[in-house]
Structure 1
Amino acid sequence: MKDEKKTAREIIETYNGPAIRIMEVCGTHTHEIFRLGIRSLLPDNIKLISGPGCPVCVTPVNFIDEAVFLAQKRQVTICTFGDLVRVPGTVGSLAKARSEGARVEVVYSPMDAYLYAEKHKTEQVVFLSVGFETTTPASCLAVRKAKQNHLENFSLLTANKTMPQAYQTLKGSADAFLYPGHVHAVMGTTSCEELVREGISGVITGFTAKEIVTALAVIIIKHREGKAFFKNCYPRVVTAAGSKAAQQVMEEVMEPCDAEWRGLGTILQSGLKLRAAYETFDARIKYTMPKLVGHSNTACRCGEVLQGKCYPDGCILFGKTCTPEHPVGACMVSHEGACSAFYQYGGIHHG
């Protein structure tokens, strides 16, 4: 039976060729693949590995240290997404700082932080701006609104990152990437097409069972051709151009910079920082942030997990010292983290 006459599931289940290593870059893909039972479809020669596509997981330890410093030494109110509160820093987390009297507010968007600052003008408010191209435009909009309305008690501590440079850094770590659909809904497909010329293969896909299974089948078919490839399997959401409005607000408010990724080190021009026109909203400048060098638990293997060099259950801390209730590393804290997914769904790495 030829591939075109098989269903996507049949293509996967009957694959008997050389091993294919597929990295699901996005943490949401990791969790959905587990939740939907897709790993149970995979023969042993299709290996799924997790990558650095969780913004909380790749945020370095020193960023948490900076946030704790601002909360404790500069007495600002930290507004943040919930996952970051429990991520360990060098000497403690924001949760620990809060238990010691620091003001830490959980919000659901940058605009929530803006509104909090507007309502509490006697407090200095810093939003922890962590994320990829999906969430960065919202941070930019909040800063632009703060500037327009002269809201002087609001600023950002930025750890925003862009994905294409990470794909390049991970070249050779997998035969093909499952690219995150929401990132490329913003940025379009140009970067993926350019990566093909560098020998990097991948498929953009969504988050339903049908979309993920279809993408895996496409990877199998294209991999057999023996050359680098790209395919957009999420055309109902992702266009070639992406969202011009989102790109424009990012271009206006932020500019590229070198950035540290947990596990990957410093990747040139992979970060985003506020432009000079908005630097009064940069918390590092506003509060004269000293240079902080973070140190994580040396036994934690989050860095290797994020590079696809080991599975979470290959870490001696996994499920013992490190659990969702008492996380040692960021990959166990975040609901998009690989360690969290492995723990929640049984800690197996079949496929």
Structure 2
Amino acid sequence: MAEAKKRTALDIIRSYDGPKIRIMEVCGTHTHEIFRQGIRQILPPQVDVISGPGCPVCVTPVGYIDQAIWLALEKGVTICTFGDLVRVPGSTMSLADARSQGGHVEIVYSPLDAYDYAKAHPDEDVVFLSVGFETTTPPSCLAVKQAVADGMTNFSLLTANKTMPMAYEAMKDSADAFLYPGHVDAVMGTRSGEAMLKEGVSGVVAGFTAKELLTAFAVILVKFPQGKPFFKNCYPRVVKAEGSPAAQALIKEVMEPCDSEWRGLGVIPQSGLQLRPAFAVCDARKKYGVPAMEGRANPACRCGDILQGKCTPPQCPLFGKVCTPEHPVGACMVSHEGACSAYYLYGGNLHE
């Protein structure tokens, strides 16, 4: 027993001789850190790490990009957005292309930057592209509250905010265990993982350092052969059971659940967030009458399959050939959190 206590996470991983297991990481930062820190190279061959729908830019549907382009070119609004979205292809062009055609697109680093821009430019109608999971939703809510309090009429959001629990539900048959994103659970707490456990779905909450990731993998590889569903918070220094009550209250005050389309997964009921009627003045869709747009992705691009864990990036015929970070065809290559980007940067022909 004393000898067993001396085993490190690395020892447990390297000596794993249990059954084949599929571990799905649903966080784009995890995708890149697992590659960057060389963790894939030390995993036994029967441990398969799948990149799931954990990149907010990647799961944002093509139709949303088309709506943003429509706002820029047809309504003449100033689009404020994170840099990743600028190069994501829409049906016929990207926001970068729209900018070259006269559209006004500003890169910002937070929703509050967009709010500040709108306040400093009262003669411009400003729309912030609110894309993200629970981690980045509270700042969008804060920006909206501030704009309403200030009586600003030139600031609004085009929302594509999503929540993770329903995605876990949609993907539960694609993996044997989830690597839950620590930053999401820092906001929302551990209740989603605990709820999945009640459905017989296993997973651990993981941090982002090498030690934290190795610990999470080791826990999974110890628990899985026991044949019982499990859940463990392996990021307790940041993630508490209750999460952040203040952030949750802010989201609940400003936004409400809605059905939402995920690239590759289709429409997942009640998996999105939209502004409540009390904040409709900041809802770009209502303010500008934005039409619904289906969007058409490149039919050869397999981003949708990659986000579902049905294939790895090198199995896409475009990967590394037609589709590169310099000339991306799909969102998974554009985003700095995308699986294709990670495989391209870190030579991901592993586990093929």
Note whether the superposition's TM-score is higher than 0.5.
yes
Equivalent positions of 1:140-179 (< 5 A) are 140-179=141-180
Q: Distance in 2 between matches of 1:348 and 1:139?
A: 38
Question: Normalising by structure 1, what TM-score?
Answer: 0.99
Structure 2 vs 1, CA of residues 20 and 248 (structure 1 numbering), >3 Å: closer, same or farther?
same
**SS at 1:96's partner residue?**
helix
Q: Distance in 2 between matches of 1:347 and 1:232?
A: 28
Q: Supply the AA of the counterpart residue of 1:306.
A: L
How far apart are residue 3 of structure 1 and its match? 5.0
How far apart are residue 347 of structure 1 and its match? 2.8
Contact 1:264 1:303 in 2 (8 A): yes
Q: What is the number of residues matched between the two proteins? A: 351
Over residues 9-38 of structure 1, what are the superposed CA-to-partner deviations in whole Å (9 max), with x where a residue is unaligned? 011111111111101110100100110111
Residue 281 of structure 1 corresponds to 282
Residue 66 of structure 1 corresponds to 67
Contact 1:3 1:11 in 2 (8 A): no
How far apart are residue 349 of structure 1 and its match? 2.5
**SS at 1:336's partner residue?**
coil
How far apart are residue 5 of structure 1 and its match? 3.5
Contact 1:311 1:349 in 2 (8 A): no
Residue 233 of structure 2 corresponds to 232
Percent pairwise identity: 68
How far apart are residue 280 of structure 1 and its match? 1.1
How far apart are residue 331 of structure 1 and its match? 0.1
Residue 54 of structure 2 corresponds to 53
Q: Distance in 2 between matches of 1:3 and 1:146?
A: 58
Q: Distance in 2 between matches of 1:246 and 1:189?
A: 15
Residue 23 of structure 2 corresponds to 22
- Where structure 2 has 5 or more consecutive residues not aligned to the other structure, the ranges are none
How far apart are residue 6 of structure 1 and its match? 1.5
Residue 193 of structure 1 corresponds to 194
Residue 116 of structure 2 corresponds to 115
**SS at 1:199's partner residue?**
coil
Please report the RMSD computed on the Cα atoms of aligned residues, expressed in angstroms.
1.0
**SS at 2:134's partner residue?**
coil
Q: Distance in 2 between matches of 1:195 and 1:35?
A: 29
Q: Distance in 2 between matches of 1:327 and 1:349?
A: 22
How far apart are residue 290 of structure 1 and its match? 1.3
Contact 2:19 2:225 in 1 (8 A): no
Residue 181 of structure 1 corresponds to 182
Contact 2:82 2:110 in 1 (8 A): yes
Deviating 4+ runs (over 3 angstroms): 1-5
Q: Distance in 1 between matches of 2:164 and 2:293?
A: 25
**SS at 1:158's partner residue?**
strand
Residue 269 of structure 1 corresponds to 270
Q: Distance in 2 between matches of 1:122 and 1:259?
A: 32
Q: Distance in 1 between matches of 2:267 and 2:6?
A: 46
Q: Distance in 2 between matches of 1:284 and 1:151?
A: 17
Residue 218 of structure 1 corresponds to 219
Residue 346 of structure 2 corresponds to 345
**SS at 2:160's partner residue?**
strand
Q: Supply the AA of the counterpart residue of 2:250.
A: V
Q: Distance in 2 between matches of 1:312 and 1:116?
A: 38
Residue 91 of structure 1 corresponds to 92
Residue 323 of structure 1 corresponds to 324
Residue 6 of structure 1 corresponds to 7
Q: Distance in 2 between matches of 1:173 and 1:199?
A: 13
How far apart are residue 4 of structure 1 and its match? 3.7
Q: Distance in 2 between matches of 1:190 and 1:22?
A: 20
| Range that drifts further, 57-66 or 10-19 | 10-19
How far apart are residue 175 of structure 1 and its match? 0.6
Residue 252 of structure 1 corresponds to 253
Q: Distance in 2 between matches of 1:246 and 1:282?
A: 20
1:296 aligns to 2:311 (yes or no): no
Q: Distance in 2 between matches of 1:15 and 1:230?
A: 19
**SS at 2:172's partner residue?**
coil
Contact 1:24 1:51 in 2 (8 A): yes
